[in-house]
Amino acid sequence: MTRARDLANLVGSGNYSSTTFTATAGQTAFTISHTQGFVQVFMNGLLLDETVDYTSNGTAITLTSGAAAGDEIEVVAYNTFSVGDALPTSGGTFTGAVTAANGLTVDDDGATPLTVDRATSDGTIIDVQRGGSSVGGVNAHGGSLVVGGGDVGIGFYQAANALVPYDQSTNAVRDNAIDLGYPSTYRWKDLYLGGGAYIGGTGSANYLDDYEEGTWTPAPSSGTMSTGTAWYIKIGNMVHCGANIWNFSDRTSNNHLRSNVPFTSASGVTATGSIIGRYINTGTQSTWTPYLSASDSSIYFYRNPSDADYTTLKHSDLNNSAADLHFHITYKTA
């Protein structure tokens, strides 16, 4: 006769079952599945000693001496369990992957939450994957931080206070190979620079340190005049400007007709431009043009008569109240 009791979960994960046999005269073997070392045997309520009173082999309990008829043999078989790996709060080492079903959060208040250290060499510190395939990561290179994916990355070059293009896959600097933005569809918005930009090269001739668009107010050398929108564009040290001037109050003096420009010209460099006007007494000139001397902030309006001399336009040449001039000039500033 056999009786079984399943006492699972009475002691958490260490559950067990109890099976009671009623022995026949001289019976020694009692068939029951169990794990060796995880079993207790009782005869008529008394705990027997393994190896002295019985042996076990995982499928049966065998008494050293045969039981008497009617003896009760109770076998308590314990289920085995393993204790999960754990690291102490003082630290330790993982030898395999750590999987977080609902994400992993590392949190601290007032201190660094997470330190990731590649102890002795350059290379990948954090490998970022999607579907088991790497899409990029965080690298260390020569004491600097590199972030990127594949051959496109950014290195935070601390020694030169610079961001540099980087090949994250080979952990090496790339030169003249990575674009900033993408035509039409992936563009940055505005660029704010306190310095300049080297375009097409790294020499001083490639350095663009200024770009401006604005207006200015032309002023005559004598009397007053009216001015339409006077505009300028300054790219580096090159200035292109233009204006419409009219309504001159002085139309009688022999003073040279002049107008200021938005920036003083560079030393050693002169410039000419284009002009058109009306109601101006210019005699037999064939051409006329605005002219800017070196290191000057005002232009003359020159006309070229039939002789070999250059002649400047004078206020007395403005013989009509409707006289006006439209001009523009490109020159180099200091």
Which tens digit of pLDDT belongs to each residue from 119-161? 888 889 999 999 989 999 999 988 889 999 999 999 999 888 9
**Residue length of the chain:** 334
* Cβ-based neighbours of 167, under 8 Å, separated by 6 or more: 148, 150, 151, 152, 153, 173, 174
Which pLDDT band holds residue 213 (cuts at 50, 70, 90)? Answer: very high
**Mean pLDDT to the nearest integer, 38-61:** 94
3-class secondary-structure state, position 159: helix
Banded model confidence at residue 83, pLDDT cuts 50, 70, 90: low
| pTM score of the predicted model | 0.62
Collapsed DSSP state (helix, strand, coil) of residue 167: strand
Query: Within this chain, do residues 245 and 318 fall inside the same structural domain, yes or no?
Result: yes
Q: Is residue 224 part of a domain?
A: yes
Locus of tokens 């022999």: 254
CA–centroid distance for 296 within its chain: 47
Determine, yes or no, domain membership for 154: yes
| Cβ atoms of 39 and 77 closer than 8 Å | yes
Residue 253 in any domain: the answer is yes
Q: How many domains does the chain have?
A: 3
Q: Are residues 220 and 304 in the same domain?
A: yes
Collapsing DSSP to helix, strand or coil, 317 comes out as helix
Per-residue tokens: 284 = 């037999």
Task: Give Cα 176 to chain centroid, integer Å.
Answer: 18
| Domain shared by 252 and 147, yes or no | no
Rounded to the nearest 5 degrees, what angle is found at the Cα of 103, between the Cα atoms of 101 and 107?
135
SS3 content of the chain, % helix, strand, coil (to 5): 5, 40, 55
| Structural domain harbouring 152 | 123-173
Of 222, 209, 325, 235, nearest to 274 by C-alpha is: 325
Q: Which of 60, 66, 20 is nearest to 44 (CA)?
A: 20
Query: Does 95 reside within a domain?
Result: no
Tell me: do 233 and 328 sit in the same domain. Answer: yes
Q: What is the pLDDT of residue 305?
A: 62
- Please say if the pLDDT value at position 81 is more than 90: no
CA distance 139 to 154: 10
Is the model's pLDDT at 297 over the cut of 90? yes
On whether both 59 and 166 belong to a single domain, the answer is no
287 close to 306: Cβ distance less than 8 angstroms: no
Residue 201: inside a domain: no
pLDDT over 50 at 309, yes or no: yes
Q: Do 225 and 289 belong to one domain?
A: yes
d(CA 213, CA 298): 20
Residue 192 domain-assigned (yes or no): no
* Res 169: pLDDT: 84
In a domain, 194, yes or no: no
Rounded to whole angstroms, how far apart are CA atoms 327 and 230?
10
Please report whether residue 191 resides in a domain: no
Q: Domain check: are 226 and 326 in the same one?
A: yes
